[in-house]
């Protein structure tokens, strides 16, 4: 059994990772300030699992509070660091906030880890570190950091560089940066899922709101890309597969710094997502085409061979599975949003 401090554990990916840790026989502790999570998320984790996870509602940058929490509930064997701001558009409008929160929380966490002699860290990175590269599938040994178009992606790249340097300075550290692609789906119970505040930034939450009647249509940015149907192609990974990848990374951490992709390796277009979601919901989902957005690339998907080799992990769920589970969440999640 591994005892894991899970920062951002009440959020979309964090709540699923908490459940995956429990299912694997591990013991998570949650730290989350609920800035991008519903207060009921932690109780819903308990409802699904039958386990009440100790949780501290605080900003991870509050080192004294996090340290006291570890003293009360520790010792801890590993940290999975998911806490941070993640909206690309918001990062462009509020760059100083994104640098402060994302980089500051990581530095604070490293200091807490050093104080409590915790040497295993799994960091929530992103495929955005591959920037404008259209050399697909993206492999971990590719050059990263070039052409990143937003502060969110830049913080992920900067944090990877910080972690690489820190691990080189301390041979006891085992740090894994998980570069994941497009998380989608929800828990099949329909009790937890993605619930973005305000206007969604990612495709599937937008499609879901159109399906549920909250929005009129999906805006497809560009239908003239050199792809099978002219729309952008991405790698959509079910959040449960993603969560299990975090568990494997915590269990199998290697000395030093490792970057590992978590994706399916199976590209899907914007129209594929709209069609699959429509099939799951039994609806014809309307969409309209607009001009391409600056900075968008035609195709991005993962080379997943390293995850198979190093973590003995691969995605098992399909895009259709993700759409089905997300639709179940939307039908139940509406109650959560109204609570």
Name the residues annotated as catalytic. Answer: 152
Give me 56's structure tokens.
Answer: 């501290």
**Could you tell me where the beta strands, DSSP code E, fall in the chain?**
3-7, 27-31, 55-56, 78-81, 120-126, 174-180, 182-184, 218-221, 233-238, 256-262, 267-269, 287-290
Which helix H or strand E contains 217, and what residues bound it?
A: none
Q: Look up residue 281 and give its DSSP letter.
A: H
Q: 157 near 106, Cβ under 8 Å? A: no
- Separation of CA 20 from chain center: 14
Q: 174 near 121, Cβ under 8 Å? A: yes
Angle made by CA atoms 21, 102, 115, in degrees to the nearest 5 = 65
Burial 263-285, CB ≥16 within 10 A → b, else e = bbbebbbbbbbbbbbbebbeeeb
For residues 323 and 198, give the distance between their C-alpha atoms in angstroms, rounded to a whole number.
21
Strand pairing class (174-180; 233-238) = unpaired
Q: Look up residue 102 and give its DSSP letter.
A: I
Q: Provide the β-strand partners of residue 267.
A: 235
Residue 304 CB partners (closer than 8 Å, separation 6+): 137, 261, 262, 263, 264, 265, 314, 315
Both ends of the chain: CA-CA distance in Å?
Answer: 36
């Amino acid at each position: 059994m591994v005892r894991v401090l899970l920062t951002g554990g009440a959020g979309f990916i964090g709540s699923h990772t908490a459940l995956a840790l429990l299912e694997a026989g591990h013991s998570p502790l949650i730290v989350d300030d609920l800035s991008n999570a519903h207060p009921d998320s932690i109780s819903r984790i308990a409802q699904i699992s039958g386990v009440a996870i100790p949780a501290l509602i605080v900003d991870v940058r509050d080192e004294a509070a996090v340290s006291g929490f570890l003293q009360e509930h520790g010792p801890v064997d590993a940290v999975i660091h998911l806490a941070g701001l993640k909206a690309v558009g918001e990062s462009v409008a509020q760059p100083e906030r994104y640098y402060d929160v994302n980089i500051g929380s990581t530095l604070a966490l490293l200091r807490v880890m050093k104080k409590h002699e915790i040497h295993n860290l799994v960091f929530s990175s992103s495929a955005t570190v591959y920037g404008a590269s259209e050399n697909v599938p993206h492999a971990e040994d590719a050059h990263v950091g070039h052409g990143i178009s937003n502060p969110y992606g830049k913080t992920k790249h900067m944090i990877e560089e910080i972690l690489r340097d820190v691990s080189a300075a301390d041979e006891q550290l085992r740090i894994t940066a998980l570069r994941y692609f497009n998380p989608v789906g929800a828990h099949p119970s329909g009790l937890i899922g993605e619930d973005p505040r305000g206007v969604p930034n990612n495709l599937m939450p937008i499609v879901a709101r159109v399906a549920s009647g909250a929005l009129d249509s999906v805006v497809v940015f560009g239908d003239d890309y050199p792809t099978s149907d002219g729309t952008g192609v991405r790698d959509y990974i079910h959040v449960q597969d993603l969560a299990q990848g975090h568990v494997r990374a915590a269990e199998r951490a290697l000395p030093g710094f490792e970057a590992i992709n978590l994706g399916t390796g199976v590209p899907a277009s914007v129209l594929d997502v709209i069609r699959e979601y429509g099939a799951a919901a039994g609806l014809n989902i309307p969409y309209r085409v607009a001009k391409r957005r600056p900075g968008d690339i035609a195709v991005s998907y993962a080379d997943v061979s390293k995850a198979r080799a190093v973590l003995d992990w691969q995605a098992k769920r399909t895009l259709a599975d993700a759409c089905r589970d997300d639709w179940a969440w939307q039908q139940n999640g509406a109650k959560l949003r109204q609570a």
